Structure formats: C-alpha cells, structure tokens
Amino acid sequence: MNLCTAKSSKYAKEVGVRKVIGARRYSLILRFLGESTLIAAIAGVFALYIILICLPFFNAMVGEKLNMNLGNGFFWIALQVSILITGILAGSYPAFYLSSFLPVKVLKGMVKAGSGFVTPRKLLIITQFTIAIVLITSTLVIHRQIQFAKARDTGYDKSRLVSFKIPDQDQTRRAAKLVCSELFESGVAESTSINFASMFESEDKRTDHLRWSGKDPALQVTFERNYTISDWAKTTGVQIIQGRDIDIREYPSDSTAMLLNETAVKLMGFDNPIGEIVYEWNTPFHVVGVVNDFVLESPFDPVRPMVIGGPKGWFNNVNVKMSAYGSLAENINKMEQIYKKYYPAEPIRYSIVEDVYARLFDKEQRMGSLVTWFAGLAVFISCLGLFGLSAYMAENRRKEIGIRKVLGASIYDIVSLLSKEFIILVSISIVIALPVAWWAMNIWLSNYAYRTDIPWWLLAAVAVLTIGIALLTVCWQAVKAATANPVEAIKSE
C-alpha cells in the first residue's frame, strides 16, 4: 500500500485519463487488485523457495522438526487462499481510493492523494513501528533475563564435574565404591561422591515427610532431598558454612547424619542447627552441617529447602570431580573403561554438569532468537512503509522544495522539513509501544522467581534506536529531494 500510494500522483493522472476514455470504476478496481495479487503470487513463489532453504536452520533454532508437505492438496489450497487474501488487502486501498477520483479534478491537478493529518498510510506506519518497538523491547528484555540468570552464582563448582548413574541402587554400592576408588587411584578424579541424585536432578527426588522439633503441624512443605556416603561437599564444591560434611569412613554414626542448606535452616527455625534431630518418616537424622544455598535444576527458580542425608538412604548416582591433568575427554574415556570393568553388562550414562546447566537456558534462548528475528522483520517491513511514505511526500512536495531552494533554503532545512513529520509518526509509535512492551514483558518476567528488572534506560535506548532507524530510512529520500535541481521541479510543463 505504501509503495503504491507513493506514486499516487502518477496513478491519479492515469485513472483520470482512463475514465475520460470510458473506463468504468469496477474495471479500475480489478486492475489494481489484479496487479497486487500478481505481485503477491510472485512473492508466494519466492517464499516457498526461501522456506525450503531456511526450514532446516529454523528447526535447529527452535528445536523442532517442522516440514512442508508439498504433496498435501490442502497445503496448496491454503497457499493460494493466502496469496489471494494478501493481494486483495495490499491492493484494496489504491484500488478503492484512487479509482474514486473525479477525472476533471485529477487532470486539473486539484487532487492531492492521501492528504490530511490522519490517513490510512500514516496509521499503517504508526502500527508497524508500534509492533516493531514492542518486539525490539521484548528482544532486549529476554536477552537481559538470560544474561541475568547466567550470571547467577550457582553455589557449587560446575567445572570438571561429571555425574554418572549406578544401575541398581543398594545392590551395586560395593561396586560403586570400587569404581570410585580406582578413579581416584588412577588419577582420573580428584574426588568422588556416591549419592542418591546428581546436582541437577530434583523433580522425583523430593520429600514432604520431614518432622523436627517445633514444627507447625499445619506446615506443609516439600524439601529437595539427596543422600551421600562421603565427600559430597568436597566433590561438588558446595561450601560448608557450619559444622562438617558427611563422612561415613571417619564417622560411622554418619549413617544417619544430615546436612541442611541455608533455606532449610531458616524454614525450620533452628538458631543452632548442629545436633538437631530431623525425622524422615520414622528415621531420625542428626544434623552435622549446614551448606550454602545452591542452584538445583532451573537457574530461574528460587532456592528450595534441601536436606542431604547419610548412607541410610538409597544411591543411584556418582559425582566425579575430574582431575585438572589431561583433557576432560581423555579422563571421561578412562572413566568409561573403569566403569565397564565393574559393570560389563551396563552401558555408562554420564552427564557433564556444565553442559547440562547450559541446556537449562535453551528454552529462553530459542525464544530470544525467535523474537530477535521477528523484530528484525518487523523493523524491515516498517522501514519499507516509511520509505514509501517518504518517497510519496518528496514527490508530492517537489515544487514546494524547488521554490524553497530558490528562496535560499539549505539542504539541512529541506531534510528537516521532510523528516519532521516522520519523526512525529515514530514518536507516536514510541508513546504507544513502550508502555505496552513494559506491561507485556513484566507479565512474562513474573513467570520467573529469579528475574531481572526493566530499567528506564533500556526503554530510552529503544526509543533512540527507533528514531535513528527512522531517520536513516527517510534521509535518503530527503537528501535526494533536497539536492535535486530546483529548475526541474518548478518549470512549467
């Protein structure tokens, strides 16, 4: 619409001449709609090729397996309907508006298409830039949230930390001890810890069956849970801030020992937790240490209360702090060989904790990538519309610009004259879009317990960026009009 109406003066004269020689309005409408539908059809062909080329990259970005079923008849029907609707919508304004011109006014030069403060073309520009600004703001907020979560202190040391599964819980505890011992003696591992769960498991490892002295009977709370034999804090890098780690080898009574994290201590209301008794079902555990809060599972979630019990519980996981000597890949290869020695019938299932933690951001990063692409497309389309409007304005005011130059106006004056209206339109978009974007992204951020904020300077930066994009878009047409020979503009036909 914008690019077509940019040449509305030429089309208006053509419409006038055609009407004079007998053309009916409906034939002019069909001509404009036919032209726009033809362009949409050509665009549809290009779109198919672009989709076929880009679909593998898009699937990789969103983590899906989308495909086009070119053998499906409904697909081709839907494509043709889409092309038809697009063509009709795109050609509707020039078709119904330009075809309504009276030929006597057109040929006398008495028609100024699209004049007035409020026109469909200006409303379209405002709408396009409003959408673009909302998407730009959303992109920046999403990336800010991702970086905010990435910068969060996990509370443990992920580097060189590897976790692998033990096949059968209690029956394999002895074999697991032998694996850990050989990993340490061979120099593959700095330390090892046999556990109930890894540092990134949570969902099926929780319990709400804990009792302690002074607990409110009405309190219902779910605790994260783990069990260990020894060296759990040493292997994972979790800090002991009070008391000591569980170590069944040095303290045989640690079979019923327990560690609490800081959140659990606050929830239980312990002033001095060391020595307190916590019951899980009917088994009493004595607290021997308090560890710092650390991120378990999602980096966007708050830290939950957690208990780590002694070897009275179950075990199906081993944490390994790999040696700093040799590459991680080499040490993992050696670990696999040692594992097969004691579990020849079981394939090893291991995870590198740093990689698992990085994958926790996949959902947000995919969303950020999608919004970034959509924001780029929205800005591009908005700039096309603005370019069309600037071309129309420069063409419509060609003689005025020529007269101003003859009277002494500078190039800067002309560029400012032509740019002023566009800046007003974009400013209106900014006033509408920024509150909408702020409101929408605050709703999105409310889904995360651990979240960033939306600072005023980010919104200001979006406003400046948008105005800069708009100025760059219209400046080419404005400078072209300002540097044109005024004689060509004001001479009589």
370 in the same domain as 340: no
Count CB atoms within 10 A of the CB of residue 60.
10
Amino acid 32: pLDDT: 81
Task: For residue 352, tell me if it sits in a domain.
Answer: no
449 in the same domain as 338: no
CA atoms of 386 and 395, how far apart (whole Å):
14
189 in the same domain as 92: no
Q: Which of 345, 369, 400 is the last residue of a domain?
A: 345
Q: Identity (one letter) of the amino acid at 200?
A: F
Q: Residue-wise pLDDT tens for the chain (493 aa)?
A: 766 665 666 677 777 777 777 777 777 788 888 888 999 999 999 999 999 998 988 888 887 888 888 888 898 999 999 999 999 888 887 777 776 666 666 566 555 555 555 677 778 888 888 998 999 999 999 999 988 988 888 899 999 999 998 876 545 567 888 889 999 888 899 999 988 888 887 656 678 888 898 888 888 888 988 888 889 999 999 999 999 999 888 888 888 899 999 999 999 999 899 999 999 888 899 999 999 999 887 888 888 899 998 887 678 889 999 998 888 999 999 999 999 988 888 888 999 999 988 888 888 888 888 888 888 888 888 887 777 777 777 777 777 888 887 888 888 888 888 788 888 889 999 999 999 999 999 999 998 888 899 999 999 999 999 999 888 888 877 787 777 777 766 665 4
Task: For residue 157, tell me if it sits in a domain.
Answer: no
104 in the same domain as 130: no
Task: For residue 269, tell me if it sits in a domain.
Answer: yes
Nearest by Cα to 285 from 342, 234, 211, 221? 211
Amino acid 196: pLDDT: 86
CA atoms of 210 and 279, how far apart (whole Å):
5
Cα–Cα distances (Å) from 235 to 60, 185, 221, 258, in that order, read 35, 15, 28, 17
Q: Which of 310, 345, 380 is the last residue of a domain?
A: 345
CA distance between the termini of the chain: 29
277 in the same domain as 136: no
378 in the same domain as 470: yes
Task: For residue 225, tell me if it sits in a domain.
Answer: yes
Q: Which of 288, 316, 345 is the last residue of a domain?
A: 345
Give the dihedral sign, CA 481/118/33/377: positive
Give the number of domains in the chain.
3
124 in the same domain as 38: no
374 in the same domain as 246: no
Cα–Cα distances (Å) from 330 to 125, 188, 317, in that order, read 59, 9, 21
Amino acid 238: pLDDT: 93
Cα–Cα distances (Å) from 202 to 57, 80, 224, in that order, read 33, 50, 7
195 in the same domain as 315: yes
Task: For residue 86, tell me if it sits in a domain.
Answer: yes
82 in the same domain as 26: yes
481 in the same domain as 374: yes
Task: For residue 159, tell me if it sits in a domain.
Answer: no
Range of the domain at 462: 116-152+361-493
Amino acid 110: pLDDT: 55
Task: For residue 308, tell me if it sits in a domain.
Answer: yes
Q: What is the pTM of this model?
A: 0.77
Amino acid 416: pLDDT: 84
439 in the same domain as 376: yes
Amino acid 198: pLDDT: 85
Amino acid 5: pLDDT: 61
Task: For residue 485, tell me if it sits in a domain.
Answer: yes
Nearest by Cα to 305 from 223, 366, 364? 223
